[in-house]
Amino acid sequence: MDITKLSREELGKRLSELEKEYEQFRAKGLKLDMSRGKPCKEQLDLSVEMLAYPYRDRIFKTASCADIRNYGLVDGLPEAKELFAQILGVSAAEVIVGNNSSLSMMYDSISRAMTFGVYGSPAPWGRLPKVKFLCPSPGYDRHFAICELFGIEMITIDMKDDGPDMDTVERLASEDDSIKGIWCTPKYSNPTGNTYSDDVVERLASMHTAAKDFRIFWDNAYVVHHLTDKPDSLKNILEACKKAGNPDRVFMFASTSKITFPGSGVAAMAASENNIDLIKKQLGIRTIGPDKINQLRHVMFFRDLAGIEEHMKKHAAILKPKFDMVNSILESRLGGKNIASWSKPNGGYFISFDTLPGCASAVVKMAGEAGVVFTPAGATYPYGKDPQDRNIRIAPTLPPIGELKTAMELMCICVEIVSIRKLLTV
Amino acid sequence: MDITKLSREELGKRLSELEKEYEQFRAKGLKLDMSRGKPCKEQLDLSVEMLAYPYRDRIFKTASCADIRNYGLVDGLPEAKELFAQILGVSAAEVIVGNNSSLSMMYDSISRAMTFGVYGSPAPWGRLPKVKFLCPSPGYDRHFAICELFGIEMITIDMKDDGPDMDTVERLASEDDSIKGIWCTPKYSNPTGNTYSDDVVERLASMHTAAKDFRIFWDNAYVVHHLTDKPDSLKNILEACKKAGNPDRVFMFASTSKITFPGSGVAAMAASENNIDLIKKQLGIRTIGPDKINQLRHVMFFRDLAGIEEHMKKHAAILKPKFDMVNSILESRLGGKNIASWSKPNGGYFISFDTLPGCASAVVKMAGEAGVVFTPAGATYPYGKDPQDRNIRIAPTLPPIGELKTAMELMCICVEIVSIRKLLTV
């Protein structure tokens, strides 16, 4: 039933049914949080045995480190570098393994670029009259918050099924030398769930950039986070950059935050050796080294990429039913009504939901008033402003499946109410 | 035997004896590292049982945190904040607990001050034509390295027995508004081992500063690191600042790097709530939170300050014999010769050693040629330049006691040789 084709009378009737249903939900006094991409308890339990290491066997010496408990190894335990090299498809010499947060590594990379410049910078970015970043959107709000804090102007780029709108990216990057970088979550993108095509990766690697020190911030947050046994595959961008003669163009990031523990995982970055050498020097002023015990804990628990892939299947077994449940409620409540569309990702942490233009904030507000918190509408766009006010990020991972069902039913009711009200005012 | 009073003939004879002794040492092919203040293996073993937590009891929920394994709590686990509040003598609301490195927290504090300013800054420090820091010296080389990286001009301040030369500090700070801060290691100072007097603490807290946003970087690295049962006591500078009407003047830092594990301890900073509130906001852009599992591990192992104090007695039992050994070799080999003086600290990690002016680099070089590495001479001064070339930092903690003895004997020989050569050229 295409709602946009109903008469005003039919719309009014449907609206009053929905408003009754909404009031019933509101009366329940719900208190549900669907706002962040947090793993659920069952996922966290999957890695608890990791915490036995290296205590259980009292192993504090590795092939390449005399005592992991002591100071040193600013770029991480060599065994952990090797593990992340496998995850990111690079060599261990191209990796720095840090503490628990890849977001921190991204923030620090921006901070260093602003203060000192990156490898090959003619000047620190912060000395320039203007610095701009390309921001494929909807995207990750925390990337945009870093830009906002540092006064980096954000340019919204449309996200298409195969990645950012590359015609626009290429045109802007080649014209404007104040554009210093682009934020990418290339695999199971936050929140759209799509994976960049080989063509997009190649164009990013090879495009002409007016800024000689342009950097792709390649946040591969969901690199092994598949939901199906037919996972998306992503072209290796560091290789592509090297082939295109732009070896220093990319900073890659990943972490085990959603593999082991969000607070106590291990994060890493990878880049060309030129980049890594400079960063290591700067990093050596900031710290004497990362938490190598936690790094060894991860290495002992997983051993290698195959161990991680095995582990991720257990995550998928927990998450897939939640994603399926969300999709089935959306289908049954909103399917064919011509007022919404949503993503059906093969991995990652989010479902991206689009309302009719101008409805998203009202939906999030209405759901909030009935006790269900969604990520604020607009959060997935630079400056928190969705130009069409239509995107809502659904984070199905944290709530138990019963709560998730309730939250989604409520959301669907809100979507339909707000859409009808909109149609009635046209 | 006061060597400076010997005849040239007597000096020459003594020199040739020493040169023979030096050659014997050199022939041994030593390979000893006395350069860094690293805990030794026995010290690291003291905290291994900590690694059983919280795994052993599977405790991941605390009174104030629903699941320590998940994201959140950017300023740290409340129980860890309470522990550091006890260590630093402040309230938990005045504490941020981070990851494994207090050096990183200092670096980040400088970095944020340069880019954004501190609480109350009229402008980001990095926008000013010049930023200067007062650097009591000899001091900690890694503090100075941070200044150097950020282009902050360092002004060397003499270190006296009771702390920095306060007459000079007060005069410069009140005259020059480009002086934005001072580095202090107030207790068992690195490397001199002295503790600031109450008078010095009060003067730092109450002095007039031309810069309204002047900050004392109070690196209380050795706050509980006593070597004797009559420890030095240090006046609480945050209290002193509040009493003097300058509550926002100080950033305090501490860590468990030399209490539990240098690579895998927990670091914290403390300051007025005005400061902490601003820093938390900025920090919330950088990270979703620190490693709370490691924080809980520490809380469960120590429980409270009394638990830490008990633990530190075990460290002292390991370290005291090493410090005593160094002192006894220095006494027996150099005592009364009028060519050297050294500190006898009640805590901390270093013995500060002064040669005759102009001799320190030659001593370090000579010891290095015989296989014993000391911290580079000059490292304890801004820009690595000891104006009198006389200070050597001795780090007795890491080597086994036999190696320490050998290294110190060699060093004494080098000191005497270099001193005599110097006297012969006068």
- What's the rounded mean pLDDT across residues B397-424? 96
Question: Shortest CB distance from B264 goes to which of A103, A111, A292?
Answer: A292
Which residues does residue A341 pair with via DSSP β-bridges, in sequence order?
A354
Q: pLDDT category, A171, cuts 50, 70, 90?
A: very high
What are B364's two structure tokens?
């370090």
Residue of B322, B318, B311, B371 lying closest to B350 (CA atoms): B322
Q: Give the amino acid at A286.
A: R
- What's the rounded mean pLDDT across residues B136-162? 98
Measured between beta carbons, which residues in chain A are less than 8 angstroms from residue B286? 101, 103-104, 107-108, 146
Please state which of the four CATH numbers 3.40.50.170, 3.50.50.60, 3.40.50.300, 3.40.640.10 is assigned to the domain occupying A50-304. 3.40.640.10
Q: How far is CA A324 from CA A287, A328, A342, A397, in A?
A: 44, 6, 13, 11
pLDDT at B294 over 90: yes
Measured between beta carbons, which residues in chain A are less than 8 angstroms from residue B111? 111, 115
Pair A71, A107: CB distance under 8 Å? no
Per-residue pLDDT at A52? 97
Taking residue A126's Cβ as centre, other Cβ atoms within 10 Å add up to 20
| Phi, psi (deg, nearest 5) at residue A234 | -125, 130
What is the CA A383 to chain-centroid distance, rounded?
17
Per-residue pLDDT at B241? 98
Q: pLDDT category, B105, cuts 50, 70, 90?
A: very high
Question: Shortest CB distance from B263 goes to which of A54, A70, A262?
Answer: A70
The pLDDT tens digits of the residues spanning B61-76 come to: 999 999 999 999 999 9
pLDDT at B358 over 90: yes
What are A262's two structure tokens?
């969000």
Per-residue pLDDT at B91? 98
Q: Which CATH architecture has domain B3-44+314-425?
A: Alpha-Beta Complex (3.90)
Per-residue pLDDT at A102? 98
Per-residue pLDDT at B42? 98
All structural domains of chain B with their residue ranges:
3-44+314-425, 51-308
Per-residue pLDDT at A36? 87
Please state which of the four CATH numbers 3.40.1000.10, 3.30.465.10, 3.40.640.10, 3.90.480.20 is assigned to the domain occupying B51-308. 3.40.640.10
Query: pTM to 2 decimals?
Result: 0.97
> The tokens 């490691």 sit on which residue?
B294
Q: Which residue of A has its CA nearest to B142?
A: A285
Q: Is B385 left (phi over 0), alpha (psi -120 to 50) or beta?
A: beta
pLDDT at B1 over 90: no
pLDDT at A42 over 90: yes
The pLDDT tens digits of the residues spanning A281-316 come to: 999 999 999 999 999 999 999 999 999 999 999 999
Share of chain A above pLDDT 70, in %: 100
The fold of the A3-44+309-425 domain, in CATH, is Aspartate Aminotransferase, domain 1 (3.90.1150)
- Angle (CA) B348-B354-B358 rounded to 5° is 145
Q: pLDDT category, B426, cuts 50, 70, 90?
A: confident
pLDDT at B135 over 90: yes
Measured between beta carbons, which residues in chain B are less than 8 angstroms from residue A103? 286-288
Mutate to test the interface with A, among B45, B58, B69, B110 (most CBs of A within 10 A): B69
The pLDDT tens digits of the residues spanning A126-153 come to: 999 999 999 999 999 999 999 999 999 9
Pair B192, B342: CB distance under 8 Å? no
Pairing outcome for strands B250-255 and B267-270: antiparallel
Pair B69, A43: CB distance under 8 Å? no
The pLDDT tens digits of the residues spanning A68-106 come to: 999 999 999 999 999 999 999 999 999 999 999 999 999
Q: Report CB contact under 8 Å: A101, B288.
A: yes
- What's the rounded mean pLDDT across residues A382-405? 96
Pair A97, A290: CB distance under 8 Å? yes
Per-residue pLDDT at A228? 95
pLDDT at B120 over 90: yes
Per-residue pLDDT at A300? 98
Taking residue B29's Cβ as centre, other Cβ atoms within 10 Å add up to 8
Q: Report CB contact under 8 Å: B71, A100.
A: no
Domain A50-304 in the same topology as domain A3-44+309-425: no
Residue of A235, A215, A232, A221 lying closest to A279 (CA atoms): A215
Share of chain B above pLDDT 90, in %: 99
Q: Concatenated DSSP letters for B221-285?
A: TTTT-BSSSS------HHHHHHHTT-TTSEEEEEESTTTS-TTT--EEEE--HHHHHHHHHHHHH
Per-residue pLDDT at B145? 98
- Average pLDDT over chain A, rounded to whole? 97
- What's the rounded mean pLDDT across residues A24-53? 95
Q: Report CB contact under 8 Å: B70, A263.
A: yes
- Average pLDDT over chain B, rounded to whole? 97
Per-residue pLDDT at A426? 78
- What's the rounded mean pLDDT across residues B296-324? 98
Mutate to test the interface with A, among B59, B70, B144 (most CBs of A within 10 A): B70
- Among A residues 55-94, those touching chain B with beta carbons less than 8 Å apart: 55, 58, 60, 67-73
- What's the rounded mean pLDDT across residues A271-289? 98
- Among B residues 121-150, those touching chain A with beta carbons less than 8 Å apart: 126, 142, 145-146, 149-150
